[in-house]
Every structure is written in structure tokens, then in C-alpha cells.
Structure 1
């Protein structure tokens, strides 16, 4: 009964256009003659149930369809028990990448574009069909019937899209590349169709530069030790290295946890970068997790450079006296020095973080200011490095690479957790979100109830993301937390159960 109520609520929430989208997405799963009689969502769901494609025990197809259609708020509001207790990563996707590509293209085409597409097809399809009132998805189905379009033949579609909407052509080219075996998961640079070329090995760091590197920000817990560092030299054999005083925690017992600002940049059509498909999945995960942690969540969509700075100034103008901390999550394209707005202009990391400095926002003095950045920091691909076997008398080579100078302000109590190290890309999957944000949300849900501090959680995120790879097994990603925290950040365990992801 509960599952049927969920299906009824889905129908009530969706429009007639949404029904047409569902029918199109299911056109590889159900016979065309059966779909032609569908007039409601519940009728479609009944067809899927009769063909064992949808059931209370396996509602994964429903969730997949709603995710493709970016109905994330609807998913959250359903509160269906099976959604919260089922690991949907174990279910194979039912909707093909080809069908999702066509749906994605249709979402970017306006009414005038559709008229232009029909005009270009006037010698390909019959005039009678083209004069009918039909959506682009229905037009795609007509092209498939006439064998002008299928997953192995996108040439006609590509030629038309290149004329009507040139910005979408690269998405079709990307699909062709991926389906031919040369796939690279969509990158945050918006340039995912660039062929992979291994970067040359990095030269060893000269010994005479190591002294200069010592004054850069440390990424280890040793950076939390204050006072005269020369005291470290006073350790004797009578003082075991395992004896460490308990590192204090930031207070987390204010009237409210604080504000979590999420800047979600998807539409980059104004600057010719690719739209960030899948970012709404990350946004939904962040909203659910930080609300669960007790934050007031504020979401800003598609911000250019000036808008990003303004929303941060608005955040700084608030009175944070009753709050424990503040969080800012940015989902966007990026460059080595900062975040790219939807106008193609960059907000540097220093501009991003200094907005919340105690000089501009005194109520955040000595309170943690936490930034989580999902964006590329360059265009290089990180190569997979495979284990080497060394003889017992050889030392395994290690790296002492340092953090770039001035990457975060010198003021205390900051954390800047970026999805990748400088000069490299980070990866995003349209149907699952980004590797970094999804791992962050998962580990916050898993480890906060256990009392784990935030830096330890981010260490686990580093571990999880570092083990992921694309289908070729050659491209990797390494997140990087940088901080000037002076205490441990430990969120109080929420009393409610973890949110749905």
C-alpha cells in the first residue's frame, strides 16, 4: 500500500510534460504500442510493474527516472522507506546513456530552436509529420522510426544541433567518444572530450628548495600545535611519542549550528563552458546532510563572479553570535587560482575566504569557517600510480610536495577543502554527482554519529576518492584539505536518522 501511495504522489507532483519525458525515457524498456496508450503516470507505472521493471522491493527505476529529470526535491519529499534503506548503487542503470543524451539535449532546446530543427528536417521527414504539434522528444522518436537516429548513428542529429545550438554539439561529440571506448568522465573544466595524454613525470624536488618549503602551510595535525615550536626538540626518551595531550574542540553548543551557504553553478552557456550535468545531485545531498547536522541551508543558483562575492558579503553581514560556525559549499567550474562564475570570470580562493574574515565579520571571530569546493584547479589529468616492489634494503620513494604559498588567508580558524590538488581536474558523473561531494556527504553521515572530528572525516574522503578511477583505470583524483584550524571540529551527533542519498 505504501508503495502505491508513493506512485500516486509522484503522479500528483508531475505535469503532462513530465509524463511525456517519462514515456520517452522508458521507450527502450516498454513496447511502443503499449506506450502509445499511456495517458497518466500511474498507467505507465502499472505497465512497468507488469513487466517486472518496478516494484516495492526494487523501486530503483523510479528513483533513476526522477534523478534524470532532476526531480530531487520530489525524491526528498517522498519519504519512502525503501529509498532510505536500499543501496541503489547495487542496481544496474536501466536508462541507457543514449536515451539520457537525447533527453539532455531536449532540455536545452527552446521553442524557436525546435522550429529551426523542423525546418532543417523538411527534406528528411515528411512535411505532414513536421507540421504536427510535437515536442523535441517526440520528434526524436519519429527520427528513430525512420532510422535517421539511433545510438550508433548520431550524425544527422549532430549536424542539426551544430547549426541550431552549437554549444550542445560538444556534448554529442563527448557521447560518441565515450561510447567508442575512449571515455573520460565529465570533468569540472567543461572540456571532457579532450583526449588523454599522460603528463611527464614530475622532477624530484631539489634539496636546496626544501628549506624554503618549510614555511608553507602544513596539512598535518602538527599545524594545530601553537607556541614555540622549538619545544618539540625537547622530547627525550623519557617522553614517549605516543603521549599527546587531548586537542581541544571548538564549542558546538550555541543556540544554532550556523548557516550553510551552497553556491550551485550549472548553466555556463553564457561563457561557452559546458553545463555541469549532475550538480543538482550534489546540491541535494549537501542540503540534506547539512540540514541533518542542524544548519540553516541557503542555496544560490548560477552565480556570476559579482553575485558570488555579493552572496558572501550578505553572509558576512549576518550576526553569527548565536552560531557555532559557518559553512560555504561551492559547486562550479574552476581554475588553479579560484572558482569560475557562470560568466566565465574567476573568484580567487583568497577573495572567497577573506570575505568571512573577523575584520569583515567580527561575530565569526574564533569560530570555524569551513569551505568545501567542488571544482577543477587546472586541466591536467592525474595518472594512476601502481605499486612497485622494492628490495628490503631500499627505501620506498616518497613525496614532500608542499602546499602553494598563500592558498588560504593567514587568519586562524579556516578550513578550505578542495576536490583536487592544484593544476588537476576533478570528476563528475551526470547520474551520480561528483566523486568528492558524494564521498563527503556519505562520510559525514557515517562518521559524525561516531564523534569523529572533521579532519579525520576528510582524511577518509581523501582515501575514498583516491581509490576511484575512470573506466580506463588511468585517471585519478586527489582531494586536498588546507586549514588554519586551532581546535578540532566535532559536530554533535544529530538525533534524527541520516538523510536519504
Structure 2
């Protein structure tokens, strides 16, 4: 019979155990030293901000180096050689994946989620905000925080801390932040909306006792976190859009139940609510009007836009008559078009009533074409004007360009087209109006179709627009009514030698009526 011999347990002497722990501690400290040497001053402050819920601000305010932060975390047993998960979590949030690899930290280590989703939300926003956006945010806070604070070279994260000190910002109070971000960058506002929605659901689940640890983990995974790629902004935007659609569908039934009950009350106040407010236009100066006029497309083999100089001359005369300072730019590439709009957004519009931008060019379904053949989408045209001094003021765009190559037909006989002088502004082949208030985008044609230009008298749309502004502004008509008349006039036009038709299309998020004051001078044109 063979006897199984089991080895005795290996006993580790206290001395060996002490040496092992000492070596582990030294390796851990060396790792922290490597992290410290790899981080810039701004990155250290990022870590300090992320740890704001774990440590007292009294101690964090004095932290200037990573080693000082790590000492505080170790003192409070938040970081140790046995559990470096917080360090891994911080490096993941700040996207230092290369450093994680170099330190041989286990990327699959189970983190404990010690950094709140609220802190991660604020950090994500700070990473997505540009320097120009930060200037605009400071401008919006000029009456909320001490001017001395705003004039300092303060970062967005430091600005968040100041708002928290004033009790204007916390995980359950994001209204001020959402309002500012919505004005500066509407796409980032969707991240806040999603956070607030999920936070509300989480709170309800906790109150009713219907949340499990797995459900909480799943909820945390859907939060706007830097642990995902930057494209998460777009994904979350889609989630918010679906959320709103669902809520709208679910609310229809609820609203219908209250219609009968509320009808008597509404009927009593309907007379008071019939009057639609007008944008204020009290001064002698309306604002700036920029006209981008593209004629020469030789660089990209598109045809010259003969007759566009007539449109420019008419627009200059009419908008000067309306009280605008008119600036014209000729033959702009994509980069130059964007620069013109960015420069316009940087101007001081505090005394202006509104701003106007006219673009005369070739076009495609989703934007206009620069003389280099590169497209500028409608959204790219409008985004630069989301600036503080234009807040709640109308931003008016008039676009003379094709939006495709299809031709709108009409009933009528075919005729010889050899002498047809009317040409289109189509380029070889959708952005829509952004989710910001007070925009008007008046386009010369509907999507996928061409618009027409007569080399001798200009384009149908621009000439009709200028003519109707002349005739109807002195009579007190608002701009949308004037554009409806433009739609009517252009829709009735037909080329002498063909059955070509055109239908303009205004899109808008105006919240009030645009009524230009009657100019003191006579109309510039007859």
C-alpha cells in the first residue's frame, strides 16, 4: 500500500513577512512617484477635483502636487498597496491609459466606483469646453460670482468649485449649469439632461426600495463618463432624443384627460395670450449684416455665378436702409466662410437688436459650398453666433444656394431651351436648424432641389426678398409674414423658356415676432 505524503504547510517567518510587506510598500510608492512625474499641474488639479467628495476641501485647497494628494488618500485608507483601485479609477477617468499600461496596473481590476457620477459629469464637461466657451461662461456669471474671481485665470473646474461654495451647484441642483451650457454648447446640454433623468430614476428606485446592486451598476454605466470615448456625447444625445419622444408619446393620453377640464379656464385667458410678443428693436442701429458673395469657382470646376453681384448690391442697399452696418466678403473658401462667422460671433452685439448673415453661393442639400468646393453645413454657419451678447436676440440667415440637383416641374408645354438664360446654383451631390432659440434660416429652395439665378437681374429669391422688405416693412409686417409673401411670389415664377419652378423654405426657432422699425429714410430702390 502506498501512503500519500502531504507536505507540511510552509510557514513564513515574521521577518520574511515584514520584508515582503516592505518590498510591496516600496513598489507601491515607486508607482505613485512615477504617476506624480507623469502628471502636469493641470492634471493634478483634475485629480484633486475628482476627489472632492472623498476629502475635505480644507485639505484639498492646499494640495499642489500628486504626492500631497496621495498622502491624504493613504492617510484616510482610500489608497494602499493592497487596494490601488482608486488610483486606477482616477487614471481611467482622466484617460491616462498609456500610464496604466506602463505601470502594469490590471486594467480589469474591479474598481469600487469611489468617484461619483456627478464628479465625472463635471469633469467630462470641462474636457469638452473650449477656451472661448469658458470666456462666455464667465460672462454669463458676471452678476452671479464676484468679478474678482472671474477676472482671475480660473479653470472651469475651479469655477465649478466656486459655484458649489455658493450653493449654486451640486449633484441635485444642475439648473444653473444646464442653462449656461445650453446657451454655449447645446450638444453638451444633453449630457446634463441625461444625468438628471437617470438621477431622478435612481432616487425614485431608492425611495421605493426597488434598486439592486446590479441595477445600480447598470445605471452608473449609462452615465456620461470619461471612461467612454468622446463619441459618447452623440450617443447620449440620441438617448435623450428617444427619451423626449417617449415622454411626449406617453403624455398625450394624460393631456387629453385634462383638456375638457381646462378648456373653460383657457377660454377665459385666451384673449390675453393672443398677442405674440415682438423682439425689442428700439435703437437707431439694428446690428451687423454680413454678406458672403461667392462668384468665382474656377478652383473647383464649378461654374461662375453670374448675376450674384446684382444680388449683393440690392442686399447692401436694403439692409443699410433697415439700419444695419453691412460687411461684404467676396469669394470665400470653406475656411474663410467659417472665419467670417467666427469673427462675427466675436463682435460686441450688446447694443445690437439682431444680426443678419446672407450667403450667396453654390450649395448642396446640407449646406453651402466655398469657392474651394468644400461644404459648410448650415449648423456650422449658425453655431458661431451662439454668443452671450446675442442671447435672446434674433439671428437671421438668408441663404441663396441650391440644395440638390433635382428640378421642380410644373404643368406646361416643353419649349426650346437653347436661349434659356436662367441657371441654377447646384453643386454635384441634413443638417437642420440647431436646438437653440431665436434663429431663422431662410433658404432659397427646399431640400434636394435647385434655385435659379438670372445673370441679368439676379436670383429669384434674393430679389423677391429685397422687394418685399421694401414694400412691407413700412406697413408694419413681421419678417415671417414677409417671407410667406416671398414664398408666394417665387412659387409663381416660371422661366420664359422652360417650366422650371422654385419653392423657398424658411426654418426657424424664433420665439417672438421680428418687426423691423420703419426706416426714417425713403426706400433705396423702386
TM-score norm. by structure 2 comes to: 0.46
Larger RCO (CA under 8 A, 6+ residues apart) = 1
Greater helix content: 2
TM-score norm. by structure 1 comes to: 0.48
